[in-house]
Structure 1
Amino acid sequence: MTPAAPGNRTASRPVSVARGYRFEVVKLVSQWRVRLLVLACWIAPALFVAGVSEQSTLPTDTLFGRWMHATGWAGPLVTLGFAGTWALPLLTSVVAGDVFAAEDRLGTWRHLLVVVRSPRRIFAAKTLAGLTVILLLVAGLAVSSTVGGLLAVGDRPLVGLDGRLLAPGDAAVKVLLAWVCVLAPTLALAGIGLLGSVALGRSPMGLLLPALVALAMQLAQMLPLPVAVRLALPGDAFVDWKGLFTSPAQLTPLLIGIAVSLVWAVTATALAYVLFLLRDFTNPADDGSARRAVTAGVLPLAALLGATVAVVAATTTAQGSGIEQTKVERSLATEFAHLYRMQTRQLHRPAVTEARLRATAACGKAGVQDGARGPGNDWRCVVSWHLPGVAATGSAVYQLDITADGRFVADGDGPKEVNGYFLVRTPTGDAPNPLWQFDGDVDLLSTSPKG
């Protein structure tokens, strides 16, 4: 037998992962819908943030939405809240949920295998290509919304969720960290998308799976679930980034959420890899087994959820909903003291420190004055404080709406000169009253002080 020519031996080698990766990236970016998403993610957030910042009505139902007139750093955080709820699940569905299913619809698996000659390299190249495009889309959302906010409003201090004023440099670092943190749950959804794309083949359910999982998690997060169950959900880090904007930062829930999300991302991707290697590519009609999808996809992820709930419950002090009367009172009093100082500066009154104010809060819920707990919009609190040299004790009433994830909105209910009106009269004209309405956060894992 005549030896094969060197050129033939080179042509018979399997395609490397790097070459396959470049090919898959080009193939993804050449799709019109992916190009449209990239364009939208790099342009639309800037236009949205700049447009909203010029409006008289702000999205006050979104975290930091009420501060979009005050600082450009509020814009990327408002965008982040929207992205975690809607944009990122849909983006992962379009990219990761279709990266394998597209070959089933087009019937090109055999051609791809003839060229690459390695299912493992195909899986690696497609996974890395999908991840690259997803990271490009997330980067576009972050950069575009930040640029839009800074150009429209400016590089000004940001009010945190505990009332402290963050310098522009500190705000920039925290905004960047918040966007980096949501990469973990985004990767978890991407892993689920890869699993659905492999297991369900040309079925449209594979494309919708990340969005449906994200929707299910959002519905679950609205329920008064135990803290251990909430933290075990792979999408909890989409909301726990808010802990970066308190002092001290509420890092424990965020780190748990990131760790859980990464475990889900690795597990779902590994399951997709196993299912992909078990596929019968010689049969064009075979795009996966329904029984195999359940046994190697759904059941392992259900077991993972149960395991993470057990681990979180065993390794944290989490009990019940995590929303307790003493925690609410402590958070409200701390934030009120910081915002009172802000109002004092607005009115050009003598400066006073938080320590000298000695602000305290007394809260009740739906008639329960002692031992109130749980989310709801029926919390009522009275904040008291002391001014140096003044014998009388000041007091202000607030209605609180606390969601199951610990975020609360405090709505001032008088007196008018303190928190009963949305404007205050300053020597330079009317200005927004920082004590009228504000967002806060209860640390679900903190320990209630005794005594």
Structure 2
Amino acid sequence: MTATIAAGPAVGPAAAARRVSVTRGYRFELVKLVSQWRIRLLVLACWIAPALFVAAVSRQSTLPVDTLFGRWMHATGWAGPLVMLGFAGTWALPLLTSLVAGDVFASEDRLGTWRHLLVAVRSPRRIFAAKALGSLTVILLLVAGLVCSSAVGGVVAVGDQPLVGLDGHLLTPGDAAGKVLLAWACALAPTLALAGIGLLGSVLLGRSPMGLLLPALVALGMQVAQMMPLPVAVRLALPGYAFISWNGLFTGPAQLGPLLIGIVGSLVWAVTATALAYVLFLRRDFTDLSYEGSARRAVTAGVLPLIGLMAAGVAVVAAATGATGSGIEQDKVQRSLATEFAHLYRMQTEQLNRPAVTEAQLKSTATCTKGSVRVAAEGPGNDWRCVVSWHLPGVEAAGTAIYQLDVTADGRFVADGDGPKEVNGYFLVRTPAGDAPNPLWQFDGNVELLPTPKG
């Protein structure tokens, strides 16, 4: 029956008039999506809630310092959108793609309207294209709301101030705004990958609720994998890595290698999952009104191809980058910490109205150990201990400061000052935005996981 409707020749002008274009079908699917109360609530929430959240948190005395850029929400309005991006990549975007792309085909199964839609459109190909484009449009609308709302909330609540990057250098408000938008744009790639997985689950599993939950479950699995000490090649090949690697934009020079790998890998996953969904949709028997998906087909046509794609991605990344192990090595940690310390020391000097000094004059270096001198200093952990040394012009003796580092598997580290208290202890300094903690007390940094040139 489906084949007859889909492939039957159009005879005469009356049949030609009944032909529905992709554009018309897209408008119909888009109207059908936005008419649902669930989608309307999501749109309102994405365009209003982030501004209220960022503004409220920015006014509190306690900040989400465990989130990247959370400790700077008092200092600049551009930290808020980045905090929201970290939350969105973990929870919001996977749930949004589940509710939109994961339900776009399954809803027809629940309502039993496939035969009516096929008679009206007369082409499964155009139906698939219209539904995929409609869900993509709604997802982009939701993401745009998250970006605009969080940015407006942060700038209105705190102001358009410079942002401190992950290597300690200051980004001008204009540069910060551009990189915030670019970071959100990079996060679209893994969002599209999850949307493609949602389309595949919606086609494969029919009215089963597992199709609706598939993008969220895949995202949860990727988050768990990112917390594990996996080899760096496996970590970079995961389709959700671009939810993390955008932090490379906020270092100087920018760490673009992991970000580009994450984006390309996510787009490959998006195209592959969507193509699988398209092929399976064209082969489906729409005469079965009680269709609830096939577990066997879900494994053979959905899970196994994606596992093969994952294995191929790991092999390509490993061969192209030469990355081995965790990617967190002693030299990388020492260089990152020394560079960031020099930038933040200069900032502290200006805030305390001391004689100006440059990073070149400081010649800062760091010596780090992990756990014990008998243990190789590599890999993630909260037992990194570093001693930073620097020189001031006209002073013979070198200054030293001790830091305890907590380095996570994705390369992010939190440095906690451990003396001397006059350098990296807790005290307040005067800034244009008001009193703020000593910038050398606690700060976030980033270690690039790919091999980097020494020196």
Do both share a fold (TM > 0.5)? yes
- How much has 1:282 moved relative to structure 2? 1.2
**Secondary structure of 1:337's aligned partner:** helix
Deviations along 1:323-360, whole A, 9 cap, x unmatched?
A: 00010000000000000000000110000010110111
Cα distance change, pair 145–430 in 1 and its aligned pair in 2 (3 A): closer
Q: In the alignment, what sits opposite 1:38? A: 43
Identify the match of residue 222 of structure 2 among 217, 223, 232: 217
**Secondary structure of 1:418's aligned partner:** helix
Q: Is 1:266 aligned to 2:257, yes or no?
A: no
Cα distance change, pair 369–347 in 1 and its aligned pair in 2 (3 A): farther
Q: In the alignment, what sits opposite 2:142? A: 137
Q: In the alignment, what sits opposite 1:243? A: 248
Q: In the alignment, what sits opposite 1:61? A: 66
- State whether residues 332 and 440 of structure 1, in contact with CA within 8 Å, keep that contact through their aligned partners in structure 2: yes
Q: In the alignment, what sits opposite 1:181? A: 186
Deviations along 1:215-269, whole A, 9 cap, x unmatched?
A: 0000000001111000110000000000000001000000000000000000000
- State whether residues 415 and 443 of structure 2, in contact with CA within 8 Å, keep that contact through their aligned partners in structure 1: yes
Identify the match of residue 155 of structure 1 among 149, 160, 164: 160
Identify the match of residue 236 of structure 2 among 231, 247, 253: 231
Q: Is 1:47 aligned to 2:52, yes or no?
A: yes
Q: In the alignment, what sits opposite 2:440? A: 435
Amino acid at match of 2:404: Q
Distance 1:419 1:354 in 2: 17
Distance 2:420 2:134 in 1: 58
Q: Is 1:400 aligned to 2:391, yes or no?
A: no
Distance 1:291 1:198 in 2: 14
Deviations along 1:89-129, whole A, 9 cap, x unmatched?
A: 00000000000000000000001001001000000000000
**Secondary structure of 2:424's aligned partner:** coil
- State whether residues 233 and 314 of structure 2, in contact with CA within 8 Å, keep that contact through their aligned partners in structure 1: yes
- How much has 1:22 moved relative to structure 2? 0.3
Deviations along 1:363-390, whole A, 9 cap, x unmatched?
A: 0000137841000000010111110111
Distance 1:428 1:246 in 2: 23
Cα distance change, pair 431–206 in 1 and its aligned pair in 2 (3 A): closer
Q: In the alignment, what sits opposite 2:331? A: 326
- State whether residues 279 and 287 of structure 1, in contact with CA within 8 Å, keep that contact through their aligned partners in structure 2: no
Q: In the alignment, what sits opposite 2:8? A: none
**Secondary structure of 1:350's aligned partner:** coil
- How much has 1:432 moved relative to structure 2? 1.9
Structural mapping, 1:28-427, within 5 Å: 28-368=33-373, 371-424=376-429
Distance 1:24 1:34 in 2: 13
Q: In the alignment, what sits opposite 2:5? A: none
Distance 1:361 1:318 in 2: 24
**Secondary structure of 1:97's aligned partner:** helix
Amino acid at match of 2:178: V
- How much has 1:290 moved relative to structure 2? 2.2
Amino acid at match of 1:339: L
User: Moved runs in structure 1, 4+ residues, more than 3 A?
Assistant: 424-431
**Secondary structure of 2:379's aligned partner:** coil
Cα distance change, pair 94–431 in 1 and its aligned pair in 2 (3 A): closer
Amino acid at match of 1:83: A
**Secondary structure of 1:329's aligned partner:** helix
- How much has 1:9 moved relative to structure 2? 4.0
Distance 2:129 2:76 in 1: 43
Distance 1:334 1:48 in 2: 33
Deviations along 1:150-206, whole A, 9 cap, x unmatched?
A: 101111100000000000111111001000000000000000000000000000000
Q: In the alignment, what sits opposite 2:454? A: 449
Distance 2:397 2:306 in 1: 60
**Secondary structure of 1:322's aligned partner:** coil
Distance 2:172 2:435 in 1: 24
- How much has 1:286 moved relative to structure 2? 2.5
Distance 2:60 2:15 in 1: 66
Q: In the alignment, what sits opposite 1:15? A: 20
**Secondary structure of 1:373's aligned partner:** coil
Distance 2:433 2:150 in 1: 31
Q: In the alignment, what sits opposite 2:6? A: none
- How much has 1:294 moved relative to structure 2? 1.3
Distance 2:207 2:97 in 1: 17
Q: In the alignment, what sits opposite 1:25? A: 30
**Secondary structure of 1:408's aligned partner:** strand
The number of residues matched between the two structures is: 445
Distance 2:130 2:330 in 1: 52
- State whether residues 336 and 435 of structure 1, in contact with CA within 8 Å, keep that contact through their aligned partners in structure 2: yes
Distance 2:15 2:276 in 1: 34
- How much has 1:431 moved relative to structure 2? 3.6
- State whether residues 185 and 238 of structure 1, in contact with CA within 8 Å, keep that contact through their aligned partners in structure 2: yes
**Secondary structure of 1:18's aligned partner:** helix
- How much has 1:292 moved relative to structure 2? 1.7
Q: CA RMSD in A?
A: 1.6
Distance 2:434 2:284 in 1: 71
